[in-house]
Amino acid sequence: MNWDDVRIFLAVARAGQLLAAGRRLGLNHATVARRVSALEAALKTRLLDRRTNGCVLTPAGERFLASAEAMEAEMLAATAATDADLDVSGTVRIGAPDGFGVAFLAPRLGELTARHPGLTVQLVPAPRSVSLSRREADIAVTVERPEHGRLVAKKLVDYTLGLFAHSLYLQEHGVPQTPSDLRHHQLVGYVEDLVFSPALAYAGEVARDWQARFEIASALGQTEAVRAGAGIGILHSFIARRDPELVPVLPDRLIRRAYWLVYHETSREQRPVQVVADFVAGIVSAERHIFA
């Protein structure tokens, strides 16, 4: 069995497509297909069902995937041991919620790439979850600890969300004194059917009859709308507090959540991934006061 064929099989299994796997590996579609076929011939079994819309693992492919990932972990461990004294290089992709990714990580990751000229960091701030098993990212920042999959999770920090409005909006419309008063105000919220985690469906914790007239599928978008005077919104406290014109409303109605740093267990021995993960954990720890 050729390890290179196994490596290509892993890329196809994670991408779900021969073409997408080829792009990630820098190989053409025909080469990827030929190498997977060679692996199937060596194992005397079919690993993938090739369909018009992609590839699906067969039962034998599912079983072999676990063995292939174990082989990958061993190869990475061996590589890390021989490269321990070398500069960190390669590409590491971080998937993060847009609020945390843009407002916190983006201004700080330049320090990491300055330390390691051979390292490329890709930050993908998105209002959705990313799949580590399909290698959409090497590291994910999540709002819930994952319960399934071969994943390593580390709690980064607790954070809060609260109601905020621009001072001019409150001057014009008045300050609500109770949650029921929110019915008489313009509310800015999230698009409910696009919420990717139950932990982010938090409006009911503020008011049972929360009815937003302006819905935005982005935490930063909601912040900008509230900053522009569109109404009262539930914002990340660590972002809203940076603008003195954003005023807390019903400050006792705080929502508490946490950020988790997650990566696939096969990345334990990938030095670039570990360097980036340690850096993210370190800067959060050093500045955890802004999340309090």
pLDDT digits (tens, 9 = 90+) for 179-208: 999 999 999 999 988 877 778 888 888 888
Tell if the pTM clears 0.75, that is, is over it.
Answer: no
List for the chain the helix, strand, coil content (%; round to 5).
45, 25, 30
Q: How far apart are CA 187 and CA 171, in angstroms?
A: 16
List the alpha helices (DSSP H) in the chain: 3-15, 18-25, 29-43, 59-82, 98-100, 109-115, 167-173, 219-227, 237-240, 271-286
Long-range contacts of 192-196 (CB under 8 A, 24+ apart): 194/127, 194/128, 196/127, 196/128, 196/129
DSSP 164-191: EEEHHHHHHH----SGGGGGGS-EEE--
Residue 97 and residue 119 share a domain: yes
Residues 129 and 170 in one domain: yes
Question: Domain end: 26, 59, 82, which one?
Answer: 82
Pair (195, 145) in one structural domain = yes
Same domain, residue pair 103 and 156: yes
Q: Which domain holds residue 47?
A: 3-82
Residues 106 and 170 in one domain: yes
- Same domain (yes/no): 22, 166: no
Residues 76 and 197 in one domain: no
Q: How far apart, in whole angstroms, are the C-alpha atoms of residue 34 and residue 85?
A: 36
- Residues 246, 252, 255, 261: is their CA dihedral positive or negative? positive
Torsion sign across C-alpha atoms 173, 178, 181, 186: positive
Please indicate, yes or no, whether residues 177 and 240 belong to a single structural domain of this protein: yes
CATH of the domain at 58: 1.10.10.10
| Whether residue 276 sits in one domain with residue 173 | yes
Shared-domain flag, residues 43 and 103: no
Q: Do the beta carbons of residue 134 and residue 14 sit within 8 Å?
A: yes
Domain count, the chain: 2
Whole-angstrom CA distances from 221 to 63, 110, 218 are 43, 24, 5
Pairing between β-strand 151-166 and β-strand 232-236 as defined by DSSP bridges: antiparallel
Final residue in a domain of this structure, among 82, 107, 131: 82
Query: Based on the domain organization, do 57 and 128 belong to the same domain?
Result: no
Look at residue 262 in the predicted model and tell me its pLDDT.
92
Q: Of 17, 50, 82, which closes a domain?
A: 82
Residue ranges in the chain whose pLDDT is less than 50: 81-85
Q: What's the CATH code of the domain at 230?
A: 3.40.190.290
Residues 51 and 124 in one domain: no
